[in-house]
Chains A and B, each alone.
Chain A
Amino acid sequence: AQTVTQSQPEMSVQEAETVTLSCTYDTSENNYYLFWYKQPPSRQMILVIRQEAYKQQNATENRFSVNFQKAAKSFSLKISDSQLGDTAMYFCAFMKHGSSNTGKLIFGQGTTLQVKP
């Protein structure tokens, strides 16, 4: 069975600084997807970034980038130039790829990020 672990329950960062959120996962699958979702206090879950395991290049979306280490089964999220609006709970999630993909995301426990002015 797949598991996702986020070892940092809470983090804080000063506005404009950079912060890295950690995520590790365990799977015997070779093809899969990894995601970071953001859930602000309003509760709407928003996709931040996604990574396909077969792609070696790390995904980036504006100020958000990942460090994907497939062999180490690590998938960290870096937020550059942190903004107050980045304050939220961040979830790392795993999904199988292909025919075994049946719409099931496996989530980590979440990291609450506080951006301080």
Chain B
Amino acid sequence: KAGVTQTPRYLIKTRGQQVTLSCSPISGHRSVSWYQQTPGQGLQFLFEYFSETQRNKGNFPGRFSGRQFSNSRSEMNVSTLELGDSALYLCASRDGGGQETQYFGPGTRLLVL
């Protein structure tokens, strides 16, 4: 099976703009979780989607949002970008049916100028 894919891999934006990141899970996986990784804060959970429903959300402002489509692909959106949003954004998928291991994509490196 193909692994988790994320697009784009790199992105440069300016403050105030918005950005959309995409994640395609492993075929058959219904759950997608998103994480933000920064040198200062480490890996922090953003949210999880399962069967098109957000089931859990981390402690991030409302500027961070996401959605999941019927084919389990997921997008996350960050509006009104701030310098502090510069990070590696990782998504991870799992089948959600008892197999709890999350498999990660390569990440999207976002730089906000």
Contact = CB atoms under 8 A, between A and B. Distances in A.
Contacts of B33: 103-105
A102 interface: yes
A43 B48 contact: no
Contact of B43 (A33, A95, A101, A107): A107
B100 A110 contact: no
A30 interface: no
Given A35-B101, A95-B100, A105 B106 contact: no
B102 A103 contact: yes
Contacts of A42: 106
A94 to B, nearest CB: 11
Interface residues of A, number: 23
Contacts of B43: 91, 105, 107, 110
Given A45-B107, A103-B32, A105-B92, 11 more contacts: A43-B106, A44-B105, A44-B107, A45-B90, A45-B92, A47-B103, A104-B33, A104-B56, A104-B58, A105-B45, A108-B42
A109 interface: yes
Contact of B42 (A46, A95, A101, A109): A109
Interface string A44-64: 111100100000000000000
Interface residues of B, number: 25
A43 B101 CA distance: 18
Contact of B100 (A91, A101, A107, A109): A101
Summarize A's interface: helix, strand, loop or mixed. Answer: loop
Given A43-B106, A103-B33, A104-B33, A97 B48 contact: no
B50 interface: yes
28 contacts: A33-B100, A33-B101, A43-B88, A43-B106, A44-B105, A44-B106, A45-B90, A47-B103, A95-B100, A95-B102, A97-B100, A101-B100, A102-B48, A103-B33, A103-B48, A103-B50, A103-B55, A103-B56, A103-B94, A103-B96, A104-B45, A105-B33, A105-B35, A105-B45, A105-B92, A105-B102, A107-B42, A107-B43
Contacts of B42: 107-110
